[in-house]
């Protein structure tokens, strides 16, 4: 049994992130990119989640050579915040 809490990931959390990252990478339309001001807002409003997303981005860059764009970081911040602020019913 895993010591990780059930936070909605598949058994291997990295697989879920990598699959979703690939889906984001498949959307290479310039008009579809988010406005950078949205990420700036997320940085202010959800500072802890943003810092975590930055650490993930640094890790992925050092281990896989991937560079996350602002859309990727926005996605990570949103989902990190959602998972860490989920209330148990």
pTM over the 0.85 mark:
no
Cα–Cα distance list, 78 to 65, 67, 83 (Å)? 23, 18, 9
pLDDT digits (tens, 9 = 90+) for 60-79: 999 989 898 888 899 899 99
According to the model, what pLDDT value does residue 35 have?
Answer: 79
Distances from the Cα of 87 to the Cαs of 2, 73, 84, in angstroms? Answer: 21, 23, 9
Read off the pLDDT of residues 21-61 as tens digits, 9 standing for 90 and up: 655 655 544 556 777 888 889 899 999 999 999 999 999 99
């Amino acid at each position: 049994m895993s010591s990780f809490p059930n936070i909605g990931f598949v058994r291997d959390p990295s697989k879920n992130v990598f699959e979703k990252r690939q889906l984001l990478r498949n959307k290479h339309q310039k008009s579809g990119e988010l406005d950078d001001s949205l990420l700036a807002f997320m940085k202010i409003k959800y500072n802890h989640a943003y810092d975590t997303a930055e650490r993930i981005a640094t890790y992925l860059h050092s281990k896989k050579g991937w560079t996350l764009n602002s859309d990727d970081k926005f996605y990570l911040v949103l989902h990190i915040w959602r998972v860490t602020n989920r209330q148990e019913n």
